[in-house]
Amino acid sequence: MTKLITCLITFYLASQGIIPDANAVIRAKLGGTIKVYTKEGVEFDLPALKTDLNVDIQGELAGVTVVQTFINPTKEPLHATYLFPMNKDAAVHGMQMAIGDEIVEAKIKKIEKAKKIFKKAKKEGKTASLLTQNRPNMFTQEIANLIPGLPIKVTLKYAQTINKVDNEYQLVVPLVVGPRYQPLDSGKAPLVVDQNVTVGVKKVRSDSTYGQWEIESLPKYPSVFGSNAQFEVDRERVSVKVSVKAGIPITNVYSHTHELEVSGTEKDKVATLSEGRTIDNRDFVLNYRLTGKSTQASMLTHQKEKDGYFSLLIEPPTVPQDQDITAREMIFVLDTSGSMSGDPMNASKVFMRHALKTLRPDDYFRIINFGDTSHELTNSPIRATKQNLYRGQKHIDSLNANGGTEIVPAIKHAFSSPLIGRTLRIVIFLTDGYVSNESEVMQLINEKIKDARIYAFGVGTSVNRYLLSEMGRIGHGFARYIDPTENSEEVAIKFARKLNSPLLTNISIDWNKLNVSEVTPEIIPDLFSGDSIRIQGKYEGAGLQTIRVLGKVQGREASLPLQFNLPQENFYDESTSAISLVWARSKISDYMRQLNTKSSGSNKKFSDDELKFKVTTLGLDHSLATKWTSFVAVSKRVVNPQPEMTPEVQVPLPMVKGVKTTAYPSSVSILGGRKVIKATNTPSILGNNMVANSIPEPETVAGLFMLMVTGFAAIWFIRRKTGRANSLI
């Protein structure tokens, strides 16, 4: 009888989507929860999500904690999938899942093993979470058996470095994945044929032969909140808190993307969102400066067990730009695809107006725009005469955004003309990078670049920074980002003036007697004014060491001697404990860059399969999420008695701020207008910060009353039965 009453109570709770709490049954305003009406008028709910980010910056390293709270506002269990971004350099080293009072530490596994564990738990009706990496800046979180009224909290931890950009330290926290254009036949996985019979698509595995499609393939893009729905959806989906600690005063802490509240002392600052929370429709970017004498190089070390790790930060010398330089061939390549419509296109035009003004009479220029196809102002480079510049500006003013993002033909077009003698070729890309074929782009640039340089300008509020930074790195240049919703005129002027040569080139390190190994990056990029580069690796030895940073400043040989003390014994400091993680992450980036660019000849040290094995091994050894290693967590208890009947749903994303519906392919559902309403009065136990003062519907009150009566009856019956049993002992 006791079991029967317990089952009845449990069944009632599950059917109503209510989980009782010792204190109260509360209702919460659910972040991003919406109800959708089909054409037939049927109403259904989509899963909700709230994200809390805590960033701790100490010195030049940052530790980031991401808490994702998944909520099921329906009356039935769901399997949920969430597509989300992280920093392109994030070393994701930990995951934890909490459901009720149960906390599960996730394990890093080879991707095929992690998927197998997740699938088994899903089938058994257990709550489980699986983190997979689609790109270094794009991840998928899968949640199995998300029960109504029982939120699941997934906590992710990652480490990253903080480098200087244009004389300021900059933290970038991506908040939303933008759409990705998939070129025809790009990234299609091969079908597996067994005994002349097609048996399906080959899955991504850590132990299979490396295939290009593993890099190109992308997950299904979820539905997005249309522009009309933005005001009907809870806009408090994300909170951000950033703590910055330094040994010298911190000044000028600001964000051009979000309004901030900044508090703390001069050496210890805390920045939070002015409104507490925000909608995740654009990246969060924070800048700050450190006062005091600028150092051109600094060294951090860390001992982990028997391995010593170092992190060397290098800045270029402060010297004026040499204006008497070789004439340039400036090739401007503008993305005019549909995703650039509106603000991004306008910002590109503003940039071009100022960039053309910086050209000198001895310079040549070309203007190429691309969407479905590529078009050029002229058939060949033309001199930067007053008349030609006017002609170029008129052409820029006439451009409109539409079509797909066929970037590969545009790159081929940019490098199609022969080099002009005694000129430096500089290719300037203006794009949001919303493409899926990143590997194909990198490989093509690596083949074509030779002595040219690429300056990649990302135009948008949540652009593909991974692709743009790799374009700049492989193209011996840099990447910068223009926010089209802000003061694009000011930013355009600033960046147009940066179309100069780097200050420090041909960088190398003379390690002297210091024994170093596995140094990353393998090829040290050139340094531009106001920037920095981090060189990392392993070392052996102790005591006072002397090394020299070598390079060329405006063509002249330059060197910078450095002296530092290596610790005699195991050294641990909280500010440097992530050095081994960021080293491993940088090493993984090196290997993946070799895979993507298909390096050959003397640069080809390992086969593709060897590189894949090295990435997988680093992921397992350092507990890092990679393309072939994933985190998986499984609850001990069964929460869903009918997992096979549970539908698969995706957490909807906001539309990226500043883009129009033309940015999204026809396969993506745009939820907006009268078809979307805010879901309110949905019961959930989420904590005080998510409580709303809503009153239960009358039928729910009646249900709660019946539940209370049933509960008291059950308790009375159980106690009476227990009392009788005790009296017989």
Query: Residue 212: what pLDDT?
Result: 79
Mean pLDDT of 699-726: 40
- pLDDT tens per residue, range 589-625: 999 999 999 865 545 689 999 999 999 999 999 999 9
- pLDDT tens per residue, range 534-547: 999 999 988 899 99
Q: Give the pLDDT band of residue 391 (cuts 50, 70, 90).
A: very high
CATH, residue 441: 3.40.50.410
Does 82 share its domain with 194? yes
Does 262 share its domain with 338? no
Distances from the Cα of 50 to the Cα of 34, 172, 550, angstroms: 13, 19, 48
Does 239 share its domain with 346? no
Contacts of 219 (CB under 8 A, 6+ apart): 81, 83, 134, 140
Does 276 share its domain with 338? no
Please tell me the number of Cα atoms within 13 Å of 104 on its side-chain side. 22
- Higher pLDDT residue, 32 or 418? 418
Q: Among 213-222, 461-470, 510-519, whose mean pLDDT is lowest?
A: 213-222
Q: Among 108-117, 118-127, 173-182, 647-656, whose mean pLDDT is lowest?
A: 647-656
Query: Residue 660: what pLDDT?
Result: 87
Q: What is the spatial distance between Cα 34 and Cα 232, in angstroms, rounded to a whole number?
A: 8
| pTM attached to this predicted model | 0.85
Q: What is the spatial distance between Cα 527 and Cα 504, in angstroms, rounded to a whole number?
A: 5
Q: Which candidate, 334, 468, 465, 355, places its Cα nearest to that of 401?
A: 334
Contact 132, 139 (CB under 8 A): yes
Q: Checking DSSP bridges between strand 238-245 and strand 250-254, what pairing results, if any?
A: unpaired
Contacts of 726 (CB under 8 A, 6+ apart): none
Does 341 share its domain with 264? no
Residue at token pair 């701020």: 657
Residue 499 has pLDDT above 90, yes or no: no
Amino acid at 698: P
Q: Give the pLDDT band of residue 494 (cuts 50, 70, 90).
A: confident
Residue 339 has pLDDT above 90, yes or no: yes
* φ/ψ of residue 519, rounded to 5: -75, 140
Residue 369 has pLDDT above 90, yes or no: yes
Q: What is the spatial distance between Cα 662 and Cα 339, in angstroms, rounded to a whole number?
A: 6
Q: Can you read off the two tokens belonging to residue 428?
A: 């300037």
Q: Give the pLDDT band of residue 42 (cuts 50, 70, 90).
A: low
Q: What is the spatial distance between Cα 268 and Cα 266, in angstroms, rounded to a whole number?
A: 6
Mean pLDDT of 153-179: 95
Query: Residue 44: what pLDDT?
Result: 54
- Higher pLDDT residue, 375 or 186? 375
Residue 342 has pLDDT above 50, yes or no: yes
DSSP letters along 90-142, please? -EEEEEEEEETTEEEE-EEEEHHHHHHHHHHHHHHTEEEEEEEEEETTEEEEE
Among 678, 693, 711, give the residue marking a domain's end: 678
Does 354 share its domain with 246? no
- pLDDT tens per residue, range 663-704: 888 888 877 644 444 433 333 222 222 222 222 333 333 333
Q: What is the spatial distance between Cα 562 and Cα 293, in angstroms, rounded to a whole number?
A: 16
Does 219 share its domain with 353? no
Contact 666, 682 (CB under 8 A): no
Q: What is the spatial distance between Cα 89 and Cα 593, in angstroms, rounded to a whole number?
A: 13
Amino acid at 666: S
Mean pLDDT of 499-521: 92
- pLDDT tens per residue, range 444-474: 999 999 999 999 999 999 999 999 999 999 9
In a domain, 557, yes or no: no
Query: Residue 144: what pLDDT?
Result: 97
Contact 91, 159 (CB under 8 A): yes
In a domain, 124, yes or no: yes
Residue 260 has pLDDT above 90, yes or no: yes
- Kindly calculate the radius of gyration of the chain based on its CA atoms and give it in whole angstroms: 28
In a domain, 606, yes or no: no
Q: What is the spatial distance between Cα 75 and Cα 254, in angstroms, rounded to a whole number?
A: 43
- pLDDT tens per residue, range 221-241: 888 876 555 444 556 889 999
Query: Residue 710: what pLDDT?
Result: 40
Residue 572 has pLDDT above 90, yes or no: no
Mean pLDDT of 96-118: 97
Percentage of the chain exceeding pLDDT 90: 61
Query: Residue 126: what pLDDT?
Result: 98
In a domain, 610, yes or no: no
- Higher pLDDT residue, 677 or 79? 79
Query: Residue 151: what pLDDT?
Result: 94
In a domain, 564, yes or no: no
Does 124 share its domain with 243? yes
Helix axes 465-474, 579-597, angle to 10 degrees: 70
Mean pLDDT of 5-12: 38
Q: Among 15-19, 223-227, 411-415, whose mean pLDDT is lowest?
A: 15-19
Residue 65 has pLDDT above 60, yes or no: yes
Which of left, alpha, beta for 276 (phi over 0: left; psi -120 to 50: alpha)? left
DSSP letters along 9-39, please? HHHHHHHHT----SS---EE--TT-EEEE-T
Q: Which candidate, 132, 82, 68, places its Cα nearest to that of 653?
A: 82
Mean pLDDT of 61-77: 93
In a domain, 548, yes or no: no
Domain encompassing residue 358:
327-496
Query: Residue 668: what pLDDT?
Result: 85
Query: Residue 446: what pLDDT?
Result: 95
| Reduced DSSP (H G I as helix, E B as strand, rest coil) percent helix, strand, coil of the chain, to 5 | 25, 35, 40
Does 43 share its domain with 164? yes
Q: Give the pLDDT band of residue 211 (cuts 50, 70, 90).
A: confident
Does 158 share its domain with 279? yes
Query: Residue 206: what pLDDT?
Result: 92
Query: Residue 600: what pLDDT?
Result: 57
Residue 402 has pLDDT above 70, yes or no: yes
Among 496, 515, 549, give the residue marking a domain's end: 496
Query: Residue 567: what pLDDT?
Result: 77
Among 678, 699, 718, give the residue marking a domain's end: 678
In a domain, 602, yes or no: no
Does 237 share its domain with 383? no
- Higher pLDDT residue, 45 or 525? 525
Mean pLDDT of the chain: 83
- Higher pLDDT residue, 325 or 250? 250
Domain count of the chain? 2
Mean pLDDT of 704-717: 40
Residue 437 has pLDDT above 90, yes or no: yes
Query: Residue 719: what pLDDT?
Result: 43
Does 280 share its domain with 333? no
Query: Residue 531: what pLDDT?
Result: 92
H or E segment to which residue 11 belongs: helix 2-16
Mean pLDDT of 88-104: 97
Query: Residue 226: what pLDDT?
Result: 60
Which of left, alpha, beta for 264 (phi over 0: left; psi -120 to 50: alpha)? left
H-assigned helices in 361-415: 386-398, 407-414
Mean pLDDT of 32-40: 50
Query: Residue 196: what pLDDT?
Result: 63
- Higher pLDDT residue, 511 or 215? 511
In a domain, 572, yes or no: no
